[in-house]
Chains A and B, each alone.
Chain A
């Protein structure tokens, strides 16, 4: 990479101006994350003063009108929905990528890849709408009431599936060809090659994919709000309605005032912390451990 920076012979003053100008835009772009965190903290401060951190976990319930701010049911909602969808979407996505690379004929693989890209482009509100009018009535027939943790998990699965599928696809494509030729020369059958050679070689890419899809599952708002019932409770079965942290913000922000509003910003901070943790994990995985 020849960066123009090293072009020290340049004596044009416009270059200096341009460089400063571009640096300015980069500062703005880089500062947005800081700005977001600062504003979330500023808006959440009243909650820390008046309510205190501990009461978000020990209050009897989430009834902001009466001054109760227990976030744990929503935390459980988010965690259950996330875990369920990641558990289903991960094998599905990895199998899809394997299908594209090692099982499907070339033309079919290309077609299938286009289909996954299309799935990735469909907006969450359309998934949510489809879940509401198609999935929820189906689940209601099995076991009322219908809007439930199960519906949330299924919709989230469809939504995060493209992320892991495309990530796995890219990392399988990066497996060195001579590994596969070596396996073929040894007479290994197809699945044995994939399990014993391809998966270990593509490990770090696959893990990054899982982290990315987890991030999407945590942050998804509209689709899960539309299908999961939004009752504040810790679910005891798959058919119980749940409310996630994100849905809680979307539902109550419209009329929240004072401490209630601050409490919603606290849940925003919690989400932000989860995402930052995932980003750090992703960086740790991708650092130098490729094909390890």
Chain B
């Protein structure tokens, strides 16, 4: 498209040219600065021992072993709860309701609002509902459940897109063959919608790993190795927050933990975009 637009030399065109390239350069420079800073300071500290050792002296020395375990447990709880609910809702919205139905519209609207709710409000809610009302206390379980509420909108949105991308002829053929809707769903639509589901899963995991504010009052600060899901456990992002704000002299380990977190997220992002590029547009027609 660039080629069809004329290159004219008026001052205003030059100004716009400079502004647009300037904005792009500024953004790129900031990004490199941020990432470069974290890689430069963090790389020296990341090692196998750092990844497996327990933190010592409030995190100033030692590693992040138990914290990685807590993070994955929180993530596990979050996915175990949010995946069935998310996929169920997405299937219902995409396959079992028409666009005009009142129920579908209401559900979509409430999910849109849920997607915009600030994470600290999720934290308040999790604290009041899971920790206090359900009596789970500050625990990995409460944290995971709070995160599950948070990632649901992302999960549902992508999964629904995945189901909508399946050609209508699949459903028509299945109906013509007299297959039940359940069979159609399980054997035909679900496999075809897997790329959308994967994208949702990966984006949801990304959001959950990055989350801090929702976890402070739900999963807590304790940096020991968790013994059960009802133990409090410190997530990686909270570890970074705590090291940089509350522990003087924790910067080196905070840099290293940030690097680990950023690498995790970049990997997740890479998977998501690979799946979107190669997966979503591929048709599954096997004979």
Chain A residues packing against B (C-beta within 8 Å): 1-7, 9-10, 12, 14-15, 18-19, 21-36, 39-40, 42-43, 91-92, 95-96, 98-99, 101-106, 112, 114-119, 121-130, 132-134, 158, 161, 165, 177, 180-181, 183-184, 187-195, 212, 215, 218-222, 225-226, 246, 249-250, 253-254, 264-265, 268, 271-272, 275-276, 278-279, 282-283
Contact = CB atoms under 8 A, between A and B. Distances in A.
Given A222-B241, A250-B213, A4 B129 contact: no
Given A99-B24, A123-B237, A191-B16, A7 B181 contact: yes
B240 A129 contact: yes
A43 B117 CA distance: 18
A106 B1 CA distance: 9
Interface stretch (B54-62, B106-114, B225-233): B106-114
A118 B31 contact: yes
A163 to B, nearest CB: 11
Interface in B1-53: 1-2, 4-8, 10, 12-13, 16-17, 19-24, 26-28, 30-31, 33-34, 37-38
Nearest to A9: B175
A219 B168 contact: no
B113 A279 contact: yes
A22 B237 CA distance: 34
Contact of A219 (B26, B99, B121): B121
Interface stretch (B72-80, B193-201, B258-266): B258-266
Nearest to A126: B258
Given A4-B175, A14-B182, A126-B258, 15 more contacts: A10-B175, A12-B182, A19-B92, A32-B110, A36-B122, A40-B124, A96-B23, A102-B2, A103-B21, A123-B211, A190-B16, A221-B212, A221-B213, A253-B124, A275-B116
Contact of A226 (B10, B30, B182, B245): B245
Interface residues of B, number: 104
A191 to B, nearest CB: 4
A122 B266 CA distance: 8
B16 A124 contact: no
B161 interface: no
B96 A3 contact: yes
Contacts of A264: 124
B269 A103 contact: no
A189 to B, nearest CB: 3
A19 B28 CA distance: 49
Contacts of B4: 180-181, 184
B279 to A, nearest CB: 17
A25 B89 contact: yes
A264 to B, nearest CB: 7
A98 B107 contact: no
A253 B188 CA distance: 49
